[in-house]
């Protein structure tokens, strides 16, 4: 049995997120259907992160096991021939038998795109949050680095089935920045892990700060606030991209 690692990108607009759901189109479900056709048997695919409905990926990582001896480049071509155009496999490589895309990940980077212009092009609208209203962008940029470091991000997490397990909501953020590129305001964040809706809730909170509704003291308090306290609101899914996932160099 071979362990295969793939890097893929996708437009998440028409999918109900990564995780397979009965009778609904998902990224994981689509990949498993295509791989079952290639393998001639069911194939379980594990992704590095469960992107939500409508969220996109520039470089998601996934892994699965195959008996088929098809070479990696031929497998990439076969998958892309069978997948819908909204999902593309960028790279396929052999991995160590124990490779797990979640457990072995060192860091992930997400990007959230906000379109600030009065008019949002129809060719942009699926991939940005259109917000043409007044914002104190300098204030948002000044507050963004405050979330760097190790914090309990429970206030920025949506309810999840795993909450019953009492798992830690402490995560480490290595970089949190706003960048301006013309009409586009981009929030980029890199960390060792992210909770459900965490990036979208961070963006929603920064937008509230840009409107003058959240002060620095409030943001600091939210980083470790008591259980049940929620930051808000959640920014729309369409502006969010998983940019990449980092792993140790082979042999390290």
* DSSP secondary structure, 93-126, as one string: EEE-TT--TTTT--EEEEEEEEE-SSS--TTTGG
52 part of the active site: yes
What six digits make up the tokens of 220?
Answer: 């600091």
Q: Which residues touch 243 (CB under 8 Å, ≥6 apart)?
A: 58, 59, 109, 110, 111, 188
Using DSSP's 3-state secondary structure scheme, residue 51 falls into: coil
How many Å apart are CA 175 and CA 100, to the nearest integer?
A: 24
Distances (CA, A) of 81 to 63, 85, 191: 19, 9, 34
Which one from 11, 14, 52, 73 is the annotated catalytic residue? 52
Which residues carry out catalysis? 52
């Amino acid at each position: 049995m071979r362990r295969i690692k793939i890097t893929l990108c996708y437009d998440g607009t028409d999918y109900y997120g990564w995780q397979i759901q009965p009778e609904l189109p998902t990224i994981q479900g689509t990949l498993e259907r295509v791989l079952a056709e290639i393998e001639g048997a069911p194939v379980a695919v594990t992704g590095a992160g469960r992107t939500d409905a409508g969220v996109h990926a520039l470089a998601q990582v996934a892994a699965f096991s195959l008996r088929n001896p098809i070479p990696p480049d031929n497998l990439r071509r076969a998958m892309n021939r069978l997948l819908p155009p909204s999902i593309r496999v960028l790279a396929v490589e052999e991995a160590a038998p124990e490779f797990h895309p979640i457990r072995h990940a060192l860091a992930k980077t997400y990007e959230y795109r906000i379109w600030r212009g009065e008019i949002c092009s129809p060719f942009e609208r699926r991939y940005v949050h259109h917000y043409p209203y007044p914002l104190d962008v300098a204030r948002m940029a000044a507050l963004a680095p405050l979330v760097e470091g190790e914090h309990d991000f429970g206030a920025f997490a949506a309810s999840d089935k795993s909450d019953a397990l009492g798992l830690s909501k402490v995560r480490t953020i290595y970089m949190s920045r706003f960048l301006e590129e013309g009409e586009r305001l981009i929030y980029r964040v890199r960390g060792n892990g992210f909770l459900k809706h965490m990036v979208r809730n961070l963006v929603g909170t920064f937008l509230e700060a840009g409107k003058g509704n959240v002060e620095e003291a409030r943001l600091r308090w939210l980083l470790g606030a008591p259980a049940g306290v929620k930051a808000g609101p959640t920014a729309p899914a369409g502006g969010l991209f998983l940019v990449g996932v980092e792993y140790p160099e082979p042999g390290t």
